[in-house]
Amino acid sequence: MRFKSVSLIVLACALAGQAHAKPQGLEASITRTTYGIPHITAKNWKGIGYGVAYAYAQDNLCMLAEDFATVAGERSLHFGAKEKTSLGFDPLDNLASDTFFRSSLDLAKLRRDGLKTSKIARDLTEGYVAGYNRLLRDLGPERVPEACRGKAWVRPITTDDMLRLTEKNALRAGALVLAQAIAYAAPPQDVKDDKVAALTLPDPAAAGLGSNGWAFGAETTANGRGLIVGNPHFPWAGPSRFYQLHITIPGVVDVMGATLAGSPLPTIGFNKDIAWTHTVTASKHATVFELTLDPADPTRYLVDGKSEAMEVRQIQVPTPEGPVQRTVYVSRFGPLMVMPAAGLSWTKERAFAIRDANAGNNRLIDAWVGMNLAKNVGDIRESVTKTLGIPWVNTIAADRYGNTLLADVTAVPNVSAQKIKDCATPRSAPLAQRLVILDGSRSACDWDKAPGTPVPGLMPASDQAIIERRDYVANSNDSYWLTNPKAPYRVLSPILGTAEVARSLRTRSGLIEIDRRLTGTDGFSSTKVDHETARAMQFANKTLAAELTLDALLGLCADQPDLASACATLKGWDRLYNNDSKGAYLFWTFWELADRLPGKWATPFDLRDPVNTPRDLVTTGPVADQLRGALRAAAERLTKEGYALDVAWGDVQFVTRNGEKIPIHGAHGNLGVLNVQVSEKVGHVLVPRHGTSYVQIVGFDDTGPVADAILSYAQSTDPASPYYADQTKAYAEKRWNRLPFTPAQIEAAKVGETLRLKE
């Protein structure tokens, strides 16, 4: 109790001090509609940031406050140095997290660069700071949500906090993923650190990062206008959760959609003329440079034969026991990193440094401002290409005129295929699928500089993939190459992803379902796409893995007495991942094993038919025995876990909200399921941690947008909120929400009274 009292006093004093310095002339109104979606109206951009922050913090204060503590490098102080957090794929200790942020985020530079952004971006940021702090004042220490009440890390913020958070979001797909490898990097020493020795590359496939994004144009939609189907696959917990909102400055901007923690405007959404979504790109946004070390000193390295000293940064990390000193080493290419288990060790001969194209990318807010103001896909294209500010996602758009766009244009290193070949080291080829490793002993191997880019060393948009069509474009996290199978894109630099090789089952599943829709072979009467058919496609929960293998598997187990029950279960399964699907868990468990088997496909990948190959399960020889063994092991596992072989999927995969069990349909994308849910095993239960999040289907009629959406995990992370589980229940039942966009629609769906903020 004493700690809580002290914390409350500290917070109260901080709030009182903030009150004397609060900005003036801020104004916004917040009207909530069904599921608590805030519609923020203001007279200017500063007011928008003000209202967005206030509404977001109403629903997610504790989560956002913790994120501010994270980027300030204060996790060890508040949560303990040895406790774990997650910045990218794998958990890391708080001391490593703090070391990364305190060494990698140059606040003085962030401040200078922040002054170079547009006035709109600066106003949004200033307004966001004021809105967050206004909510803290309005709540007072005693009304902060229970999860973080009395915590010292719930404090007023400044523009510095927003600059740090923006930088973190930019680095999410590059250096941030390797934060632990950077924090632990040290010159070779005699004492072995087992924790460091175990460091290896994270597995993005296991993490399930991804999304599905489809844009249909005039040639394929029922009304000849554009239609967007967006389903980003993002975490169910933490600040990467999406949040629905609607912003309006009369006569200036009117956009509805979703955003992430700390973002002052929609990053996915629509206005009256265009709609857009994003998918995580296959591009690599950082490169690793292999350094040849000076034989006389492992903290010096050779470039073109000349020795250079590494910069040594001494970092002080605050902890409850006092400051802990950490050392980070930085080369001309970027910070040093170590991943011994991946063969990237710091020895007396060599070391490795990472350079991230998104370091200092403060252009992302301006890129999204441009999208919010766009009137057609051409405007979207211009915003993406001019700023090079989109950090690590494809942009997929459709407009009311029936045009579609996929722009795989991000802040990516300007490294050609030839440079990757010429600058390879012995470590390059073994890790080529995960990293681009260049020879750091030659200055010629640094990124090429092209005229017209906002930052030297970025790849110009003209060398990246931009596709505009009137039928459709689609992406499910494979590269740009097979955006539309009718016209595969030309092969670009490998840093933008692979081409002319097999696509994932999820990519193939999406393209197959689109083709079935447009050829009328999916059970619907028409051959066009509209809201009804798009909704059905999103939550059909089909599995391409089962479609390709189950009939052959049933043949393999038909004459096996010990597999009779498993065989009967799979024969009776509806081959879907709906909550009532019986047999789905048995196949899920089988495919976990079978998916890893080499040589299981009788028909290999064929460049002439990339959507339908590889296929045809091998049913003879050792592979057949291995497949039977996988099914046998799967059945034994279910029995050991206490499940009937025909247990319903919703009895295995579910979330619990305030004591209520909510079954969750969908499954892992490696099953070729479009409605992705990447779940972790908690006991014998599958709990979604990543997958389907903000799903939107947006088309246009004669007057404006027509949008159906659902947010799978709901708006709020506060168990006391009425918006904590309401949309999760709707998602479980496949219920959509027709989004209110016009003033009349908003008034009809209004929940409670409009909140008017002014100071």
Gyration radius of the chain's alpha carbons: 26
3-state helix/strand/coil string of 480-539? HHHCCCCCCCCCCCHHHCCCCCCCCHHHHHHHHHHHHHHHCCCCCCCCCECHHHHHHHHC
Which member of 103, 211, 441, 693 is catalytic? Answer: 211
- Token pair, residue 501, equals 């090789």
- Token pair, residue 431, equals 């890790």
Other CB atoms within a 10 A radius of the CB of residue 340 amount to 18
Other CB atoms within a 10 A radius of the CB of residue 483 amount to 25
436 and 495 in contact (C-beta within 8 Å)?
A: yes
Task: Please report, for residues 485, 679, 714, the alpha-carbon distance to residue 692 in angstroms, rounded to integers and kept in the order given.
Answer: 25, 11, 12
Q: Packing angle between helix 119-139 and helix 159-170, nearest 10 degrees?
A: 120
- Token pair, residue 610, equals 């990339």
Separation of alpha carbons 546 and 70, rounded Å: 42
> Residue 572, class by beta-carbon neighbours within 10 Å (0-12 exposed, 13-18 middle, 19+ buried)?
exposed
Among residues 627, 691, 719, the alpha carbon closest in space to that of 207 is found at 691
Separation of alpha carbons 268 and 244, rounded Å: 9
Q: Packing angle between helix 119-139 and helix 364-372, nearest 10 degrees?
A: 90
Among residues 371, 447, 375, the alpha carbon closest in space to that of 416 is found at 447
Separation of alpha carbons 695 and 277, rounded Å: 10
User: How is 574-619 classified by DSSP, letter by letter?
Assistant: -SB--TT-BSHHHHHHHHHHHTT-TT-EEE---TTSTTT-SEEE--
Other CB atoms within a 10 A radius of the CB of residue 661 amount to 12
Separation of alpha carbons 635 and 648, rounded Å: 15
**386-404 as b/e, with b when 16 or more CB fall inside 10 Å?**
ebbbbbbbbbbbbbbbbbb
Please indicate whether residue 716 is annotated as part of the active site.
Answer: no
- What is the CA angle 370-372-376, rounded to 5? 80
Looking at residue 245, what DSSP letter applies? E
Catalytic site positions: 211
